[in-house]
Chains A and B, each alone.
Chain A
């Protein structure tokens, strides 16, 4: 039997005032998968999510969920959860009312609503905040309320628009594992957009790289992160780009080896948990991260560089 994609986006394009926001964007999401859409600010990430949710309608292209065309379907009929960048909590309602909101639209059974609100708030460790209002919560607690509010409705998939961007790095790291755990417990498919490589590395099963409204690469995490397919993709993934002869190469900062034939001049060097350097070479400037200390006479090796097409 052929396994259908959970979601399939086919050639969606959007223009606003003559500007192309999205150009022929296509990708798919498998059941239970976390797909990362990685791109810089203004690359079209949020527009992609808004289109999938039904907030904006594409000029062309189609969106299929479980094999059914939902392109023209109303937002409230799609059963697609959305965790917004600013979370979109209802500030006039307390936490319990926020979480129960979507469920109340689906069932009138008060006992059932109370039980499920209680279960999910316990699951996400926010049960002590149920009577508080969003303004009384910390950033991390608000994230959890937003997640609980979305999860309780059993959405077919969840869209997450850089939900961790406003958190400090410690909390952000914790929340990444929370989201991973949620996917495991609830077996829900997630599309997660971010500009943060760490989100992609920790959370993603697959990654799509979006740049100026176009998907540059789409595939499983390992192949995208380890084998960038173009200069643009390599740049977005933080690779060093250099040229030898007629050929362009990309090398990740952690794969540059200390000790090798390439002569260097150290421009900057910082010691920390890892040693970070910016060096000048005959191939251009290269940044690298290493456990070892670097001396100029050591030189470096670029033998792990990847040839780019």
Chain B
């Protein structure tokens, strides 16, 4: 039989080699040159302990809260639903540094463990709620009505059907929360301070503040980066192997629990207040009309338009590149092995990623290119995963119809698949764009004055103890984020196809 070369492996293998294998090799090379001192071992043990503690406590609380509100989202079926989901998603994609500043605006610079946890919960529980809602909402309404005709009570319907299906998404969100909190950077760095430094914070400290801690530069940071990869590889494996099974629920039957609509809405409004409080607190305490642009410019010695320009250019370039790469990798990614290779960059936390890319490419490419590359790799696994899930909701027969009619895989993607998921694509693009705009932990590790973005500007103002300036710049940034995401969403929704 005539066997063909598996081209997908060539694409994905090459991608994995350049994006992951080479940087990882450099990280290992630097790490083996570490000369551990007593102080280093103490710092290492403390940071690992903090990472575990913060990740575990935050995950448990976030999961509990997220699941409850995910169920409320399933039960609620009013006009406000899409607004609530959008607000929850916006909270999730907000940069960590903004959340940290929101927490400080509420509690002041008090450096308490529970404030970090509160920040983590506010940050992650909306994501768990939305994921739990997505899988829970795919429950077949016909199944529910079958159960009801057989005598199942409403509580039985919730626990036996909706909760069970919500758990799949919730679990996925829980693992993701653990990973993201373990890699926590902004909250422990800004809210917690030195006693609550996580591994991620210490990698940054060893790279940027004490690079000569050991004889070999960056070896301590590299060792911590490798240690973090080794710890997180297990939860990452679970995260990647869970198939949450998002489906479209196209049933036209009325929702079975609609009588609880008002109760569910009230619960969701309380939840929104809980998670948006840090943001509101900031705007109330530091109203935007008191902003002094010149004071900020003087402090940073860089103009706000320049900061914004850098942020938008890096974000646009990396989103665009990541989107193009995602298309190629999605089209040629049929096997499980290839999917694993594509998602491999997830093993790097943002700071470790920045450090390893700095070690590999730092001397050879301008910092602006390095930052674009890092940002691209930060978002590409998320982007591919979300786009692949969207593509999987299209019946395979549509794709194969196009192929049997003689179309190529690339053309089939653009002509058949893309028009069907353009709403999802616009959401993915805006999520990616916002994520990259708010990226702080990676860029703070590698930036130079000419490549400073707005998040770094905010952090610098905070270090300079210009609290007012910090908040004003944060508020400007928030407004830019909302406008950008609105524009991208509108661009994605435009076009003439997909009316049905």
Contacts and interface: CB of A to CB of B under 8 A. Distances in A.
Interface of A: 53-55, 58, 60-62, 69, 71-73, 75-82, 84-93, 101-102, 105-106, 133-136, 149-150, 153
A85 to B, nearest CB: 7
Contacts of A71: 1-2
Interface stretch (B219-227, B352-360, B401-409, B454-462): B401-409
15 contacts: A55-B403, A69-B2, A72-B3, A72-B4, A76-B403, A76-B405, A80-B404, A84-B400, A86-B397, A88-B401, A89-B401, A91-B500, A93-B419, A102-B405, A105-B405
B2 to A, nearest CB: 3
Contacts of B416: 90, 92
B500 to A, nearest CB: 4
Interface string B227-239: 0000000000000
Q: Closest 6 interchain pairs by CB?
A: A72-B2, A88-B397, A102-B405, A88-B401, A84-B397, A92-B419
Contacts of B420: 91-92
Contact of B400 (A60, A82, A92): A82
A133 B500 contact: yes
B499 interface: yes
A105 B397 contact: no
Contacts of B407: 76, 101-102, 105
Given A88-B397, A134-B500, A136-B500, A81 B402 contact: no
Contacts of B2: 69, 71-73
Interface in B419-451: 419-420
Contacts of B4: 72
Interface string B1-13: 1111000000000
A78 B407 CA distance: 11
A72 B1 CA distance: 7
A220 B56 CA distance: 68
A78 B404 contact: yes
Contacts of B398: 88-91
A154 to B, nearest CB: 11
Nearest to B4: A72
Given A60-B1, A72-B4, A92-B419, A106 B397 contact: no
Contacts of B83: none
Interface of B: 1-4, 395, 397-408, 411, 415-416, 419-420, 497-500
A105 B415 CA distance: 12
The residue in A58, A73, A82, A91 that gathers the most chain B C-beta atoms within 10 A of its C-beta is: A91
Nearest to A105: B406
A100 to B, nearest CB: 10
A93 B401 CA distance: 13
Contacts of A87: 397
B401 A82 contact: yes
Contacts of A153: 405-406
B74 to A, nearest CB: 25
Contacts of B397: 84-88
A93 B403 CA distance: 16
A89 to B, nearest CB: 7
A149 B405 contact: yes
A149 B401 contact: yes
A52 to B, nearest CB: 10
A62 B498 contact: no
A61 B404 contact: no
Given A85-B397, A92-B498, A133-B499, A75 B404 contact: yes
A58 B1 contact: yes
B400 A135 contact: no
Given A88-B395, A92-B416, A76 B401 contact: no
Contact of A135 (B1, B399, B408, B500): B500
B243 to A, nearest CB: 15
B403 to A, nearest CB: 4
A75 B400 contact: yes
Given A87-B397, A92-B419, A81 B500 contact: no
B500 A76 contact: no
B395 A75 contact: no
Contacts of B411: 105
Contacts of B399: 88
A88 B406 contact: no
Nearest to B499: A133
Nearest to B419: A92
A222 B411 CA distance: 45
